[in-house]
């Protein structure tokens, strides 16, 4: 499910999901289709780094490589697949431009 | 339950995390349902700030599934402020409502806030029956409109059909209505005593013969032969199992801040106005007592053949007098389902209490014991 259209995208957590850390692993429910995900520690690190202002490769370099002792190229390849899958369920927002800080759900005026 | 959901539940249980909480934001209601277990006066609901503080504490405690219920949730003027706050804390939020006050604008707000699902109570497809139960003229139309408004915005809606004598012949009509609306439908024959212990509304429970009929409806339970089969012998795994999630991975908080193991288990366990939620969750002697109970500890149940399949509710057992004992209402359900009486039923019959009306007079204790042997 790799998205070939965006290389090294900016990624942001969607505000339209439910998420909670349980024993070091993030559980997430998509508001789009109620799919439930449990992220492992590596995926959780990427999720937590998805601030909309940082590109995926940088997130992997900052949050994954030092913590999990993995080569950047290999980790990035894995991360791209993970990001594409979560993006398909509306859990992550992906863009070639920085994504403004994802606002938590607010009421429409 | 999906495998992943079961895994998360097991993990939460092992870690002592309250995965699910129902928070009633008010007991006030615009309907006056004849079977309702609540007192609808406001005895000092938590303020908006208190509600937000509780939500902060629940998020910190690891709560993921949050049910906002009542009373009628939209009786609170600040309801959407509370809901928005809950969603900003990234709870998976389910709403329980009668839908009367949900019009297009409210449906938009609920959709925009990323609510997981909305449960709306519908008692009958016939206005005279539904409105007769809610005591609010026009309520069926308004509830059905609400389902339509929510469905048209892509929200998941569950029609909840509580069965009682007044509507016991209408569940097929409600199911058909839900199907037409595109909503899911759940049917529940459980009527509980009022929270103050008043048992007068138990007279509304559907008759045992009707309960038997409901349990044999394949449109509700699929393979009836399997569903109504005599229970298989159980092993230690069943006897060492937990009665339910109440107090283990779930609890309930009232509009006044009182914490209970479950909405159907009114054992006062603390109050979030006086203590931090996590302190109550971890250290309440009442919750810890509930947690200590295993199926093998249940008086009258551990040796019962139904122990592996019974829907015994610890809260109902508590309301009937002993949280370590059987729930008479669930004994009746097991009997209605399988035709095999529980030892608890036999004991009550021997003591002269009323037996279910559908138990044949010639059904002697010897025969019954023979069946259960």
Question: Percent of chain B, pLDDT > 90?
Answer: 67
Contacts of B67 in chain A (CB under 8 A): none
- CB-defined contacts A:B, below 8 A: 69
| Cβ–Cβ < 8 Å for B40, B28 | yes
Cβ burial B238-255 (10 Å sphere, 16+ → b, else e): bbeebbbbbbbbbbbbbb
Range list of β-strands (E), chain A: 10-13, 17-22, 25-30, 36-38, 51-55, 92-95
Q: Exposed, middle or buried, A5 (CB in 10 Å: 0-12/13-18/19+)?
A: exposed
- Reported confidence tier of residue A109, pLDDT bands at 50, 70, 90: very low
Is the CB of B113 less than 8 angstroms away from the CB of A107?
yes
Is the CB of A18 less than 8 angstroms away from the CB of B91?
yes
The number of beta carbons lying within 10 Å of the beta carbon of residue B188 is: 10
For residues B300 and B211, give the distance between their C-alpha atoms in angstroms, rounded to a whole number.
Answer: 23
Strand order across the beta sheet in which A92-95 lies:
A51-55, A10-13, A92-95
Is the CB of B84 less than 8 angstroms away from the CB of A106?
yes
Instruction: Inform me whether the pLDDT recorded for B96 exceeds 90.
Output: yes
What is the pLDDT, as a whole number, of residue B304?
A: 87
Sign of dihedral through CA atoms A82, A88, A92, A96?
positive
For residues A14 and B47, give the distance between their C-alpha atoms in angstroms, rounded to a whole number.
Answer: 30
Is the CB of A108 less than 8 angstroms away from the CB of B109?
yes
The residues with which B127 forms a beta bridge, in sequence order, are none
Is the CB of A104 less than 8 angstroms away from the CB of B90?
yes
Among residues B94, B121, B95, the alpha carbon closest in space to that of B36 is found at B121
The number of beta carbons lying within 10 Å of the beta carbon of residue B360 is: 8
Sign of dihedral through CA atoms B145, B151, B156, B161?
positive
- Average pLDDT score, chain B: 90
Instruction: Inform me whether the pLDDT recorded for A1 exceeds 60.
Output: no
Nearest-by-Cβ selection for B64 from A15, A18, A34: A18
Among residues B141, B142, B187, B178, the alpha carbon closest in space to that of B160 is found at B187
Question: Percent of chain B, pLDDT > 70?
Answer: 94
Instruction: Inform me whether the pLDDT recorded for A101 exceeds 80.
Output: no
Contacts of A29 in chain B (CB under 8 A): 64, 92, 116
Among residues B38, B29, B31, the alpha carbon closest in space to that of B201 is found at B38
Average pLDDT over residues B239-246: 86
Is the CB of A18 less than 8 angstroms away from the CB of B108?
no
The more confidently predicted of residues A24 and B256 is B256
For chain A, which residues lie within 8 Å of any Cβ of chain B, measuring from their own Cβ? 15-23, 27, 29, 31, 34, 36, 38, 104-108
For residues B118 and B133, give the distance between their C-alpha atoms in angstroms, rounded to a whole number.
Answer: 21
The number of beta carbons lying within 10 Å of the beta carbon of residue B266 is: 22
What is the pLDDT, as a whole number, of residue B353?
A: 63
| Cβ–Cβ < 8 Å for B309, B228 | no
- Taking CA–CA distances from A109, the nearest residue in chain B reads B109
Contacts of B11 in chain A (CB under 8 A): 22-23
Is the CB of A27 less than 8 angstroms away from the CB of B64?
yes
Instruction: Inform me whether the pLDDT recorded for B372 exceeds 50.
Output: no
Nearest-by-Cβ selection for B116 from A20, A29, A104: A29
Is the CB of B108 less than 8 angstroms away from the CB of A17?
no
Is the CB of B112 less than 8 angstroms away from the CB of A107?
yes
Q: Exposed, middle or buried, B256 (CB in 10 Å: 0-12/13-18/19+)?
A: middle
Sign of dihedral through CA atoms B355, B356, B357, B359?
negative
Q: Tell me if ipTM is over 0.90.
A: no
Question: Apex CA B106: angle with CA B102 and CA B107, to 5°?
Answer: 85
**Residue B133, φ and ψ in degrees, nearest 5:** -80, -40
Contacts of A17 in chain B (CB under 8 A): 90, 114
- Reported confidence tier of residue B358, pLDDT bands at 50, 70, 90: very low
Contacts of B2 in chain A (CB under 8 A): 36
Average pLDDT over residues B1-29: 93
The more confidently predicted of residues A6 and B287 is B287
Best mutation target among B87, B111, B115 (most A Cβ atoms within 10 Å) is: B87
Instruction: Inform me whether the pLDDT recorded for B261 exceeds 60.
Output: yes
Is the CB of B8 less than 8 angstroms away from the CB of A108?
no
For residues B46 and B39, give the distance between their C-alpha atoms in angstroms, rounded to a whole number.
Answer: 16
Calculate how close chain B gets to A28, using CA atoms only, in Å. Answer: 9
For residues B312 and B309, give the distance between their C-alpha atoms in angstroms, rounded to a whole number.
Answer: 9
The pLDDT tens digits for A28-44 are: 998 778 889 999 998 99
For chain B, which residues lie within 8 Å of any Cβ of chain A, measuring from their own Cβ? 2, 4-5, 7-8, 11-12, 15, 17, 19, 59, 62-64, 80-81, 84, 87-93, 108-109, 112-117, 156
Instruction: Inform me whether the pLDDT recorded for B95 exceeds 90.
Output: yes
What is the pLDDT, as a whole number, of residue A17?
A: 94
Cβ burial B327-346 (10 Å sphere, 16+ → b, else e): bbbbbbbbbbbbebbbbbbb
For residues B334 and B307, give the distance between their C-alpha atoms in angstroms, rounded to a whole number.
Answer: 10
What structural domains does chain A harbor? 10-95 (3.90.930.60)
Instruction: Name the CA radius of gyration of chain A, rounded.
Output: 13
């Amino acid at each position: 499910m790799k998205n070939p259209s965006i290389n090294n995208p900016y990624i942001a957590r969607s505000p339209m999901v439910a998420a909670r850390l349980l024993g070091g692993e993030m559980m997430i429910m998509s508001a789009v289709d109620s799919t439930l995900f449990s992220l492992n520690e590596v995926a959780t690190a990427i999720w937590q780094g998805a601030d909309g202002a940082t590109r995926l490769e940088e997130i992997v370099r900052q949050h994954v490589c030092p913590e999990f002792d993995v080569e950047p190229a290999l980790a990035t390849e894995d991360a791209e697949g993970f990001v594409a899958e979560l993006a398909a369920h509306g859990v992550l927002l992906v863009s070639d431009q920085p994504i403004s800080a994802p606002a938590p759900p607010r009421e429409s005026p | 339950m999906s495998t992943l959901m079961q895994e998360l539940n097991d993990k939460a249980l092992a870690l002592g995390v309250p995965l699910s909480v129902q928070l009633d934001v008010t007991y006030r209601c615009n309907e006056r349902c004849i079977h309702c277990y609540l007192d609808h006066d406001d005895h000092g609901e938590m303020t908006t700030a208190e509600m937000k503080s509780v939500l902060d504490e629940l998020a910190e405690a690891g709560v993921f599934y949050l049910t906002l219920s009542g009373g009628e949730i939209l009786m609170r003027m600040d309801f959407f402020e509370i809901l928005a706050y809950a969603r900003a804390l990234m709870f998976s939020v389910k709403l329980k409502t009668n839908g009367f006050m949900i019009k297009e604008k409210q449906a938009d707000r609920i959709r925009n806030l990323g609510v997981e699902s909305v449960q709306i109570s519908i008692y009958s497809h016939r206005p005279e029956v539904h409105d007769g139960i809610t005591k609010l003229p026009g309520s069926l139309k308004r509830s059905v409109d609400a389902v339509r408004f929510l469905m048209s915005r892509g929200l998941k809606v569950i029609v909840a059909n509580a069965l009682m004598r007044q509507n016991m012949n209408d569940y097929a009509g409600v199911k058909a209505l839900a199907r037409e609306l595109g909503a899911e439908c759940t049917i529940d024959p459980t009527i509980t005593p009022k929270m103050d212990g008043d048992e007068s509304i138990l007279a509304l429970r559907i008759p045992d013969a009707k309960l038997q009929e409901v349990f044999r409806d394949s449109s509700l339970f699929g393979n009836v032969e399997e569903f109504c089969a005599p229970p298989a012998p159980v092993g230690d795994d069943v006897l060492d199992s937990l009665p339910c999630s109440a107090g283990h991975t779930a609890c309930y908080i009232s509009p006044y801040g009182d914490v209970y193991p479950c909405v159907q288990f009114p054992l006062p366990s603390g109050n979030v106005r006086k203590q931090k939620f996590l302190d109550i969750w971890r250290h309440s002697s009442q919750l810890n007592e509930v947690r200590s109970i295993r199926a093998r500890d249940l008086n009258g149940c551990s040796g019962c053949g139904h122990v592996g399949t019974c829907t015994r509710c610890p809260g109902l057992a508590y309301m009937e007098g002993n949280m370590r004992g059987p729930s008479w209402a669930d004994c009746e359900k097991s009997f209605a389902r399988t035709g095999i009486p529980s030892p608890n039923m036999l004991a009550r019959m021997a003591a002269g209490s009323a037996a279910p009306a559908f138990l044949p007079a010639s059904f002697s204790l010897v025969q019954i014991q023979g069946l259960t042997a």
